[in-house]
């Protein structure tokens, strides 16, 4: 009962403090908007195919080239511009300088595709189209050798426009930049709870209300628990608000297992609060604790991909990113949303709770030993 | 009955001795003053009594029970008004009192009633829905008191409850202390304002450097340093005055004339001012001014320690 | 007691070595390196005395074990539990925490290793608990013994001091008495008796020639003798000199000597009725003053030490104050504690203030008034 009393007070006090709103609500929502729209280019799924400009050089016979021309026509429908290379211009250099997405050399022997590494998705689309084209051409050649009359039917069966679905099973349900940042920023803000955890008991000392709490006939553990639960709830409410806001306003995808997503978020908030609390007990001065907590939050956010997506890290970098709780959490949430991989919930929750207990233990030991709060 | 018994209490912080082997005993119905300069160990003593700190040595009994072994019982019976404001600015006056009273096991309508009773007692009932950030210093102090009394403690500990407030609020608070005392509360009152302590306390301990250096009623404390007071009477003319006659008046110890001022040194506790004035009037002496110089607790402290209560 | 911990670690190490012999592993040099490193770190742990250093080394050891576990040989994890136990200082409250912490690494371990680890962890835990309990008990007993020894010493010292004091004061009083008696007899009774003797001698010579004159002289002698007897009576009655004379004069003398010896300015002020100070109070004032002056000389770098004795209505206040460096936080040394104890024996208090120079103030209640 006393625990509930303290929890309820904690919630009331936190929500009447406008700082809470700024840091925990306004800041992430704005950050989501900025990062989600500004960095959307890094997420290639939504790229318009008409952005693809291709340069080609023809050194094949007319017969072969005519097929290629029909391909060009079809591709134009899909929004891919083809330009024949002008004399004296090296197609490769054009691509290198990023004037064109790719350079295709058409010869009698086949097609050579040289892409720029900067537009990998476009390039793979193109590659898919060309493969399809080449396959069909090969098929036609094979048919000719058996029954030349059937060639036209083979060639008439128009190629599909939607190349992507053919070549990428994954992309039907892959995060857009807003989807990605909705998750990343939400989990980052959840980790900001560490700042609250750090100030949790200091706040009572600063307000001198710790005297009253300690003088009351309640156990120290009740104060401790009540405050932690309150803090977790406050942060959870903020995070929930962000999730709801991002879902309805930014149309971010949160999947159909929202309960599991929240389970992970709760465990993360718990981890953050315990971490902050633990630090505040391990380090004597408040300033030092604050510096350490802020630093850790920033590092964790950075390596957890809150500011930009970290694709397939390797080596030592992978090791570092794996250390960030945000990495576990983000990966698990992504798996749940996009792959319906419900088992993914177990690992991050277990890890978060385990590490939390460690920090909590540190806090509890010092708490019991210390006089006052 | 003894509300509080402190025996050989010592509190050390990292080798620094904040409270040094003090013993106190407070009876029911007393307003007990702890007087001393800042850093004398008053707050530490209070925090030890309230169970906020663990003593290094010694024992504290509240209503006959050890405050560490029976902390629930003793804490239920103590209300503490901390030196600094200990209220939540983001909770209304009502919510503040309710939260703290709730920690003492009060529930439901009883809780609401007690909270309102406490707020009424400090004169903040009209303001119960307001936030303390909009309160004046005095109102905050009163709320600070309300938070400590809603659970009707037997022993109320007040640590400098009048620091930095206007005289009106100060009087209000001093009156409330009297009222609480009349309602049966025993009160421990710390201050470095000698006037307040002199005014309201029935018994006083003077603390310095963690020790109780003297204890007793105001009169007993003054008696430590002297049993006489000075009476200075300025008169228009001195011709008709016979010093020997004044010396004969009961209680008068010495009399001297300094120009037109009669300086009389007289025993404390004997009311002879009337007799002195009667004599002067009979002699048809015109009195210009009269000054009674009785030592106060400040003088006691100064004499005993060589320092002032307030630096 | 550390012996047992070291031994436990050695047994574990031995077990590991035996296991490594059977595990054919190309990693042998690394294994040996890790073993040696573990040995070094843990020996260092027991050599170092400083608590912070110890913690640092322990942390190092934990890191080393984990590193060896990941990079060299998984069996190294078996060394972990004992070191984990040692993280906690001796406090029985932590028992549960240690248990959890020791078994926590069990979770990520593969099955076969987990069994071994569990066994080692459980044994380590029990060994450490025993170790802790015995140590705590031993410490407690030693502390008790210490306190008793100290008490004994204190009591013996006080006894000796008191005996010495009694002996000395007896001697002093005797001496004072003798002096005074000698003075009085010499100054007054001696003269009187001589006067009477001369008169009687004269009367003897005159008794033949002038009887009347002789009678007169004899009467004179009788009168003088009477006076002498009266004087003896008065002298005997006033035999005890005013004690204050001893106290205050002795104090003055002492201060003067001290001042001259150490070339310090030492103003001495006394106010009020010195007669109300009893001999035992004088004794304690005197002793405390000596102590305070010695301290001031040692620490204060003062050029002036003022001494005030003020007899108030119901209290005596003695203040020794120097103009030296002072001290912000006063820590009680043996000297101060001794002063406090002495003063407490006559219900007095000592206030020490180091904020403005250094001052020791004794407040002693006057007997019968409080």
A365 contact C CB<8A: yes
- Show Cβ contacts of residue C207 under 8 Å, excluding neighbours closer than 6 positions: C214
Q: Do A361 and C107 touch (CB under 8 A)?
A: no
Gap between the Cα atoms of A131 and C293, Å rounded: 104
| Residues C132, C92 contacting (CB under 8 angstroms) | yes
The answer on C36 and C109 residing in a single domain is yes
pLDDT of residue A9: 92
DSSP A200-235: HHHHHHHTTHHHHHHHSSS-HHHHHHHHHHHHHHHH
Question: Does one domain contain both C231 and C252?
Answer: no
Please tell me if residue B225 touches chain C, with a CB cutoff of 8 Å.
yes
Touching subunits for chain C (3+ Cβ pairs under 8 A): A, B
CA distances from A330 to A241, A257, A258, A321, A338 (A): 18, 15, 14, 11, 12
Ranges for all domains in chain A classified under CATH 3.40.50: 45-173
Lowest mean pLDDT among C106-115, C274-283, C336-345: C106-115
Sign of CA dihedral B44, B46, B51, B57: positive
Beta bridge partners of B205: B34, B215
Query: How far, in Å, CA of B163 to CA of B69, rounded?
Result: 33
Range in A47-61, A294-308, B173-187, C233-247 with the lowest mean pLDDT: C233-247
Beta bridge partners of C349: C363
| Calpha distance B129→B140 (Å, rounded) | 14
Give the pLDDT confidence score for residue C370 in this predicted structure. 47
Is the residue at C12 inside a domain?
A: yes
Last residue of a domain, one of C210, C237, C264: C237
Same structural domain, C83 and C102: yes
- Alpha helices, DSSP H, located in chain A: 2-15, 18-21, 27-38, 62-77, 91-96, 120-146, 151-156, 163-167, 177-206, 209-215, 220-248, 258-282, 286-303, 315-323, 325-339, 346-369
Strand order in the sheet with B155-159: B78-81, B155-159, B186-191, B31-35, B203-208, B211-216
Provide residues of A within 8 Å CB-CB of chain B: 2, 5-6, 9, 12-13, 16-17, 207-218, 371-372
C-alpha neighbours within 13 Å on the C-beta side of residue A360: 18
Q: What are phi and psi of B155, to 5 degrees?
A: -120, 120
For the record, the structure tokens of C33 come out as: 């390196």
User: In the CATH hierarchy, which top-level class contains the domain B227-294?
Assistant: alpha beta
Among the candidates C237, C258, C282, a domain finishes at C237
| B275: Cα separation from own chain's centroid | 34
Angle at A120 between CA A118 and CA A121, to 5 degrees: 135
Total domains present in chain C: 3
Helix (H, G, I), strand (E, B) or coil at B233: strand
Measured distance CA(B4)–CA(B24) in Å, rounded: 8
Q: Give burial (CB, 10 Å; 0-12/13-18/19+) of C359.
A: buried
- Between A283-292, B38-47, C88-97, C196-205, the lowest mean confidence (pLDDT) is in C88-97
Question: Residue C158 falls within a domain, yes or no?
Answer: no
pLDDT at A167: 40
If you ran DSSP here, which 8-state letter would residue B53 be given? S
User: Bigger pLDDT: A88 or B203?
Assistant: B203
- Across the A/B interface, how many CB contacts are shorter than 8 Å? 71
How many angstroms separate the CA atoms of A139 and A152, rounded?
12
C152 lies in a domain?
Answer: no
The answer to whether the Cβ–Cβ distance between A365 and C107 falls below 8 Å is: no
**For A208, which of B85, B90, B95 is closest by C-beta distance?**
B85
Looking at residue A41, its pLDDT comes to 62
Which pLDDT score, from 0 to 100, does residue C93 have? Answer: 63
Q: Is B88 on the interface with A (CB under 8 A)?
A: yes
User: Within a domain: residue C287?
Assistant: yes
Mapped onto helix, strand or coil, the DSSP state of residue C45 is helix
Q: The tokens of A265 are what?
A: 């978020």
Interface test with B, best of A7, A205, A217 (most B CBs within 10 A): A217
Residue C167 lies in a domain: no
pLDDT score for A121: 66
pLDDT given for residue C242 in this prediction: 54
Residues with pLDDT less than 50, chain B? none
Say whether both C313 and C198 belong to one domain: no
Scanning chain B, the segments in alpha helix (DSSP H) are 42-49, 71-76, 93-102, 108-121, 137-149, 167-182, 194-200, 218-225, 243-248, 273-282, 297-305
Neighboring chain C residues of A365 at a CB cutoff of 8 Å: 94, 97
List, for residues B61-98, the tens digit of each pLDDT value. Answer: 999 999 888 989 999 999 999 988 999 999 999 999 99
Q: Which residue has the tokens 């103003």?
A: C267
B86 touches chain A (CB under 8 A): yes
Q: Which residues contact C130 (CB under 8 A, 6 or more apart)?
A: C4
C223 in a structural domain: yes
In chain A, what residues touch C94 (CB-CB under 8 Å)? 365
Which single residue is written with the structure tokens 């009297």? B178
Complex ipTM value: 0.86
Nearest one of A330, A328, A290 to A306, comparing CA atoms: A330
CA angle, B107 then B112 then B115, to 5°: 110
Q: Which of A354, A358, A368 sits opposite C93 (nearest CB)?
A: A368
The answer on pLDDT for A273 being more than 90 is yes
Helix-helix angle A220-248:A346-369, to 10 degrees: 150
Question: Could you report the per-residue pLDDT of A42-73, keeping only the tens digit for each?
Answer: 565 444 555 677 888 877 777 777 777 877 87
- Looking at the structure, do residues C72 and C103 belong to the same domain, yes or no? yes
Q: Are A293 and A271 in contact (CB under 8 A)?
A: no
Domain containing C228: what range? 174-237
User: Per this entry, what is the length of chain B?
Assistant: 311
What is the structure's pLDDT at A155? 61
Give the helix ranges, DSSP H, for C92-110: 95-103
Q: Which fold has domain A45-173?
A: Rossmann fold (3.40.50)
Domain end position, chosen among C142, C158, C183: C142
CB spacing of B306 vs C359 below 8 angstroms: yes
DSSP helix/strand/coil, C197: helix
- 3-state DSSP: chain B helix, strand, coil percent, rounded to 5? 35, 30, 35
CB B153 within 8 A of CB B106: no
Q: Specify the CATH number for the domain of residue C317.
A: 3.30.565.10
Token duo for residue C134 = 């015995």
Residue B75: closest CA among A98, A218, C103:
A218
pLDDT of residue C90: 56
H or E segment to which residue C162 belongs = helix C111-184
Beta bridge partners of B57: B10
Note which residues in 272-331 of chain C have CB less than 8 A from chain B: 310, 312-315, 317, 319, 321, 329-331
User: What does R_g of chain B's alpha carbons equal in angstroms?
Assistant: 24
Looking at the complex, does the CB of residue C353 fall below 8 Å from at least one CB of chain B?
Answer: yes
Same domain, C22 and C133: yes
pLDDT reported for residue A236:
92
Residues of C in contact with B214 (CB under 8 A): 315, 363
User: Can you tell me the mean pLDDT for C239-249?
Assistant: 61
Residue of chain B whose alpha carbon sits nearest to that of A214: B52
Domain positions in chain B are: 2-223, 227-294
Q: C-chain residues within 8 Å CB-CB of A357?
A: 100
Q: Do C349 and B213 touch (CB under 8 A)?
A: yes
Contact present, B16 and B41 (Cβ < 8 Å): no
Scanning every residue of chain B, which has its alpha carbon at the shortest distance from the alpha carbon of A218? B103
Q: Which two tokens stand for residue A345?
A: 């919930």
**C97·A361 Cβ contact <8 A:** yes
Mean pLDDT in residue range C233-251: 67
Helix axes B93-102, B108-121, angle to 10 degrees: 130
Confidence (pLDDT) at A164:
44
Say yes or no for a CB contact (<8 Å) between C314 and B208: no
Residue B259 pairs in a beta bridge with none
**Mean pLDDT estimate for chain C:** 83
The total number of residues written for chain C in this structure: 370
Residues C36 and C131 in one domain: yes
Task: Could you please state the CATH topology (level 3) that the domain comprising B2-223 is classified under.
Answer: Rossmann fold (3.40.50)
- Using CA atoms in the order A4, A10, A12, A15, what is the torsion angle rounded to 10 degrees? -140
Cα B194 to chain centroid distance, Å, stands at: 7
C213 and C108 in a common domain: no
Across the interface, whether the CB atoms of B225 and C351 are under 8 A apart is answered no
A123-146 confidence digits (pLDDT tens): 777 777 777 777 777 777 777 777
Q: How many CB atoms lie under 10 A from the CB of residue B125?
A: 16
- Asked if residue C164 belongs to a domain, the reply is no
- Burial category of C44 from C-beta neighbours within 10 Å (exposed 0-12, middle 13-18, buried 19 and up): middle
């Amino acid at each position: 009962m006393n625990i509930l009393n303290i929890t309820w007070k904690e919630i009331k006090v936190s929500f009447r403090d406008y700082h809470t709103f700024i840091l925990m609500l306004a800041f992430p929502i704005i950050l989501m908007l900025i990062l989600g729209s500004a960095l959307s280019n890094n997420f290639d799924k939504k790229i318009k195919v008409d952005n693809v400009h291709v340069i080609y050089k023809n050194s094949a016979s007319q017969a072969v080239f005519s097929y290629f021309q029909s391909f060009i026509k079809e591709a134009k429908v899909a929004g891919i511009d083809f330009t024949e290379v002008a004399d004296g211009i090296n197609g490769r250099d054009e691509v290198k300088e990023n004037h064109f997405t790719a350079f295709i050399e058409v010869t009698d022997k086949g097609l050579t595709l040289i892409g720029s590494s900067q537009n990998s998705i476009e390039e793979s689309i193109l590659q898919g189209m060309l493969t399809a084209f080449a396959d069909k051409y090969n098929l036609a050649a094979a048919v000719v050798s058996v029954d030349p009359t059937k060639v036209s039917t083979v060639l008439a069966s128009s190629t599909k426009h939607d190349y992507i679905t053919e070549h990428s099973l994954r992309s039907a349900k892959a995060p857009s930049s807003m989807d990605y940042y909705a998750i990343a920023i939400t989990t980052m803000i959840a980790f900001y709870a560490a700042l609250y955890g750090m100030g949790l008991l200091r706040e009572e000392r600063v307000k001198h209300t710790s005297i009253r709490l300690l003088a009351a006939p309640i156990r120290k553990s009740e104060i401790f628990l009540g405050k932690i639960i309150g803090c977790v709830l406050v942060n959870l409410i903020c995070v929930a608000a962000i999730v709801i806001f991002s879902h309805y306003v930014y149309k971010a995808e949160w999947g159909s297992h929202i309960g599991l997503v929240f389970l992970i978020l709760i465990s993360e908030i718990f981890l953050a609060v315990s971490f902050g609390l633990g630090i505040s007990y391990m380090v004597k001065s408040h300033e030092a604790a604050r510096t350490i907590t802020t630093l850790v939050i920033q590092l964790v956010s950075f390596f957890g991909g809150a500011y930009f997506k970290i694709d397939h890290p390797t080596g030592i970098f992978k090791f570092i990113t794996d250390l960030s709780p945000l990495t576990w959490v983000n990966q698990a949430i992504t798996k749940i949303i996009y792959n319906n991989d419900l088992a993914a919930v177990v690992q991050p929750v277990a890890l978060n709770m385990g590490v939390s207990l460690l920090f909590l233990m540190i806090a509890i030991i010092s708490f019991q030993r210390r006089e006052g709060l | 009955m003894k509300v509080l018994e402190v025996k050989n209490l010592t509190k050390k912080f990292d080798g620094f001795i904040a409270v040094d082997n003090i013993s106190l005993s407070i009876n029911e119905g007393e307003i007990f003053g702890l007087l001393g300069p800042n850093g004398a160990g008053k707050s530490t003593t209070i925090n030890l009594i309230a169970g906020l700190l663990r003593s290094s040595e010694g024992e504290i009994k509240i209503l006959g029970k050890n405050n560490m072994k029976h902390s629930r019982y003793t804490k239920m019976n103590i209300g503490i008004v901390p030196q600094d404001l200990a209220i939540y600015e983001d909770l209304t006056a009502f919510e503040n009192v309710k939260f703290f009273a709730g920690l003492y096991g009060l529930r439901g309508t009883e809780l609401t009633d007690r909270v309102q009773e406490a707020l009424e007692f400090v004169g903040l009932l009209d303001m119960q829905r307001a936030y303390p950030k909009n309160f004046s210093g005095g109102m905050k102090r009163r709320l600070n008191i309300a938070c400590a009394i809603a659970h009707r403690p037997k022993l109320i500990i007040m640590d400098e409850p009048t620091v930095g407030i206007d005289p009106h609020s100060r009087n209000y608070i001093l009156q409330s202390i009297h009222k609480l005392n009349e309602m049966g509360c025993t009160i421990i009152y710390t201050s470095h304002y000698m006037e307040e302590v002199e005014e309201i306390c029935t018994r006083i301990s003077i603390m310095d450097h963690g020790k109780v250096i003297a204890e007793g009623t105001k009169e007993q404390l003054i008696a430590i340093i002297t049993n006489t007071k000075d009476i200075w009477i300025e008169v228009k003319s001195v011709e008709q005055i016979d010093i020997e006659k004044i010396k004969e008046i009961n209680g008068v110890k010495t009399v001297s004339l300094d120009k037109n001022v009669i300086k009389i040194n007289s025993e404390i506790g004997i009311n002879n001012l009337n007799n002195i004035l009667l004599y002067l009037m009979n002699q048809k002496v015109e009195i210009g001014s009269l000054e009674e110089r009785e030592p106060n607790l400040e003088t006691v402290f100064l004499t005993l320690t060589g320092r002032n209560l307030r630096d | 007691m550390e012996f047992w911990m070291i031994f436990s670690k050695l047994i574990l190490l031995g077990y590991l070595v035996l296991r490594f012999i059977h595990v054919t592993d190309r990693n042998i040099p690394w294994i040996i390196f890790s073993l040696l490193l573990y040995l070094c770190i843990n020996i260092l742990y027991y050599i170092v005395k400083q608590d912070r250093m110890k913690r640092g080394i322990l942390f190092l050891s934990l890191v080393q074990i984990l590193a060896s576990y990941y990079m060299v040989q998984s069996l190294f994890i078996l060394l972990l539990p004992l070191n984990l136990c040692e993280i906690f200082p001796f406090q029985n409250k932590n028992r549960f925490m240690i248990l959890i912490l020791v078994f926590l690494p069990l979770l990520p371990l593969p099955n076969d290793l987990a069994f071994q680890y569990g066994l080692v962890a459980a044994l380590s835990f029990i060994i450490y608990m025993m170790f802790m309990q015995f140590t705590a008990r031993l410490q407690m007993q030693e502390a008790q013994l210490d306190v008793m020894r100290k008490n004994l010493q204190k009591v013996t010292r006080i006894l000796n001091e008191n005996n010495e004091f009694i002996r000395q004061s007896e001697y002093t009083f005797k001496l004072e008495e003798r002096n005074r008696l000698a003075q009085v007899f010499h100054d007054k009774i001696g003269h009187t008796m001589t006067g009477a003797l001369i008169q009687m001698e004269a009367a003897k010579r005159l008794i033949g020639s002038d009887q009347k004159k002789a009678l007169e002289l004899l009467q004179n002698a009788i009168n003088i003798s009477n006076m002498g007897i009266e004087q003896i009576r008065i002298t005997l009655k006033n035999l005890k000199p005013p004690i204050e004379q001893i106290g205050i004069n002795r104090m003055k003398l002492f201060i003067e000597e001290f001042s001259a010896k150490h070339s310090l300015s030492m103003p001495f002020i006394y106010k009020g009725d010195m007669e109300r100070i009893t001999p035992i109070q004088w004794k304690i004032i005197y002793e405390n003053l000596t102590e305070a002056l010695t301290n001031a000389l040692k620490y204060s770098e003062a050029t002036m030490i003022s001494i005030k004795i003020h007899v108030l209505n119901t209290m005596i206040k003695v203040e020794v104050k120097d103009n030296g460096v002072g001290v912000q936080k006063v820590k009680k040394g043996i000297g101060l504690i001794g002063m406090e104890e002495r003063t407490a024996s006559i219900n007095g208090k000592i206030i020490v203030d180091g904020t403005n120079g250094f001052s020791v103030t004794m407040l002693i209640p006057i007997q019968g008034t409080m």
